[in-house]
Structure 1
Amino acid sequence: MSSLKVRVDQQKLDRAAYVLKCVAHPVRISIIDLLEQRERLTVSELQAVLQIEQSLLSHHLTNMRDKGIVDTQREGKKMHYFLTDTTITNIIDCIKGCKTF
């Protein structure tokens, strides 16, 4: 048993828990999935696919932006959202491959 140890340093574990708490919602996971497919999307484009109220979508996007998961880039009057780190899309692969869901 002495060779058993935690293989990830505490700082990475803390960041992972912080991010996972933020994305632990079906809408937020869906946003990540959509941004993986299209790289940059506007609120209108996300809303058209997700079929939820704009105010609710904006709430989720603001939360994800505050946590550093997404960021924005203005293009004229439109605001485009994108993932700050595309490795978060590995969550989608884990979900698809998990047999308990």
Structure 2
Amino acid sequence: MIQEGMSVALLTLLTATGDEKKNRFSTLSDCRKTCRGGVPFYCFNIPPTSSKRHSYPMVTYNSSKGACEVIPALYNNPQKNIFRRNEDCIKK
């Protein structure tokens, strides 16, 4: 099952036939465990968008880039991949 908001890199790794040696996996979960096992699953969540006018600068983990980046958000919520500081994003 393909999930909305899945990164292009992860979609590339997914196929119907699982084979870790060929970098092909039958599920997104298997792909993440093998290729990015140290990254918590919530870091792959796409954070809700907020207007810059009514939000604060927060940080999110961009799974396509493999790095943290600044976004506008209303509040800190690590379970939704929204962090107050870059250090918090990196630490998780």
* TM class by smaller structure: under 0.3
Question: How high is the TM-score relative to the length of structure 1?
Answer: 0.26
Larger radius of gyration: 1
Higher relative contact order (CA 8 A, sep 6+): 1
Question: How high is the TM-score relative to the length of structure 2?
Answer: 0.28
The structure that is helix-richer by fraction is 1
